[in-house]
A and B are shown apart, each in its own frame.
Chain A
Amino acid sequence: MKETTLAMSVWRGDAAGGAFRDYRVPARPGQTVLDVVTWIQRHIDPGLSYRYACRVGMCGTCAMTVNGKPRWTCRTLVGTVAPDLRLSVAPLANLPVVKDLACDMTQFFDKWRRAEGRFQAAPGSAADFAVVPPESAARQAADAGIECIGCAVCYAACDVVSWNPAYLGPAALNRAWTLVNDVRDGAQAARLAAVAGDAGCHACHSHQSCREHCPKQLNPTAAIAGLKRLATLAALKGEI
C-alpha cells in the first residue's frame, strides 16, 4: 500500500528574514501539528528550531501560525486543519522571530508587567482568610478569564497589536481584568491607570480576533470591555 504523505511548508529563517521550505511527512491517524514539526526535526532536518514543553495544552509554548491562523500546535489535529493534507507552519505574527518557528516572547510578557498583571495583596489582607463567595459577580468575572496559558495566540491574532506595537494586547489586559475582580488585591488604582493609557484598553477596536482564536475559549474582548467601562467611570469621577 502506498503511504499517504503530508505536503508541509515550514518557515525557516531568523530575525533578518527567511522563506518557506517544503517537506514531505508521512500522514498518521491522530497526528498533531506539533507531531509533524517534531517528525521533520527528528527525521529530515535536525536544525529546525521550535519551542514546546508539555504537549498537552497547559504550558502555552508551542503556538505557531498554522495555515495562516495562530493555533496551539500540540492540540491541533492535522486532520482538522488540513483535510487536503497541505499544511503551512510559520512563527506567530506580531512577535520578533528568534529562529525558524521560535519567537521572542519578551515584549509579550513585558506587557503583562506593564498592565500591572501581578497580584498585589492589600495591606493587612494576609491576617485572615479572605472569603470570596464563588457565586459573587467579581469571582465569576475573574473565573471567566483565569485559565489563560500565556500562549500569545490572541496577541498574534490582534490587528491592533500589528498597528500599534505599544498596545498591551489581549492577554495582558485579560490578566489585568482578572485581578481587577480580585477582592484581595490592593493595587486597583495603579492597575486601572496602567491599562487606561493610549496603549491600553481604549485602543481595542473590538474585532474579537482574540476571542475567535483563543484555544482556551476565553474572551479577552469582554475583559477589555470591562476595563473600558471601569476606566471611563473612574475618569468621570476624576480618579484617574
Chain B
Amino acid sequence: MTAGAARTGRWPARGHAGFWAFVVHRISGVALALFLPAHFWALSQAIRGEAALDGFLRWTDRPLVKAAEWVLVVLLAAHLAGGLRLLAIEFLPWYDAQKTFVALGAGFALLVGLAMALNLAG
C-alpha cells in the first residue's frame, strides 16, 4: 500500500477468494517459520536425556499447549493445501475453477483440523 493510495482512498481491489487464499498462505507460512526453531529446541531435549524430554513432553500435555498444537496443525494443513494450489496454477494447464480450488484447500484444512480435534478429544 503506497502512501498515495491511503491519501486518496484508492485501495487496490481486494476481498475475493484468490486474495484471501494469499493472506492465509502468507500468515500460515510466517507462523510455521517462527515455530520451527521452537520445534528443533523441543527435539534437542532428547540429547539432554530421557528425563529432560519426558519433563518437556508432560508440559505439552497442558490444554493450552494442546490447543496451540491444534492451531499449528491446521496452519500446516492450510499451507500445504495452498502450496499445492499454487503449484497447480503455475505448472498445470489453467482451470477456470479457481474458487473451487480455494474452497478445496480450505476444506482440507478444516478436515485435518476436525480430525485432530477428534484425536485430542478421544
CB contact list, B1-39 vs A, under 8 A = 1-2, 4-5, 7-14, 16, 18-19, 22
Specify which chain B residues have a CB less than 8 angstroms from the CB of A49 in the assembled complex: none
- The answer, yes or no, to whether B86 is at the interface (CB within 8 Å) is yes
**Distance, CA A212 to CA B12, complexed state (A):** 12
Q: Is B91 an interface residue (CB 8 A)?
A: yes
Complex interface: stretch among A64-72, A110-118, A166-174, A190-198: A64-72
**Would you call A212 and B18 a contact (CB within 8 A)?**
yes
Complex contact B13–A70 (CB within 8 A): yes
Chain A residues in 8 Å Cβ range of B89: 206, 221, 225
**Is B40 engaged at the interface, CB distance under 8 Å to the other chain?**
no
Among B13, B22, B96, chain A packs the most CB atoms within 10 A around the CB of: B13
Tell me how far the C-beta of A210 lies from the nearest C-beta in chain B, rounded to whole angstroms.
9
Shortest CB–CB separation between residue B42 and chain A, in angstroms?
33
Bound form: Cα–Cα A102–B9 in Å: 15
CA distance A34 to B98 in the complex (A): 32
- Nearest chain-B residue to A213 (Cβ)? B13
- Other-chain contact of A156, B7, B12, B14, B98 (Cβ < 8 Å): B12
Residue pair B11, A159 in contact (C-beta under 8 Å): no
Query: B12–A206 contact, CB under 8 A?
Result: no
The answer to whether A18 and B8 touch across the interface, beta carbons within 8 angstroms, is yes
Closest residue of chain B to A162, judged by CB? B12
- Which bracket fits the contact residues of A? 35 or more
CA of A157 to CA of B14, assembled, Å: 8
How many Å from the CB of B35 to the closest CB on chain A? 23
Contact at B9–A206, with CB atoms within 8 Å? no
Q: Would you call B13 and A228 a contact (CB within 8 A)?
A: no
A79 within 8 A of B: no
A208 touches B18 (CB 8 A): yes
In Å, the complex CA distance between A219 and B5 comes to: 25
User: Can you list the 5 inter-chain pairs with the closest CB atoms, starting with the nearest?
Assistant: A208-B18, A93-B10, A222-B94, A157-B13, A69-B13
Can you list 13 A-B contacts with CB-CB less than 8 angstroms, sorted by A residue number?
A65-B9, A65-B11, A68-B9, A69-B13, A93-B5, A94-B5, A158-B12, A159-B14, A206-B90, A209-B12, A212-B13, A226-B94, A232-B91
Residues of A within 8 A of B (CB): 11, 13, 17-18, 20, 65, 68-70, 88, 90-94, 97, 156-159, 162, 205-209, 211-213, 219, 221-222, 225-226, 228-229, 232
Name 17 extra pairs, CB < 8 A, besides A158-B12, A206-B18, A206-B86: A13-B8, A18-B7, A18-B8, A68-B11, A69-B13, A90-B9, A90-B10, A93-B10, A94-B2, A97-B8, A157-B12, A208-B16, A209-B14, A209-B19, A219-B96, A221-B18, A225-B89
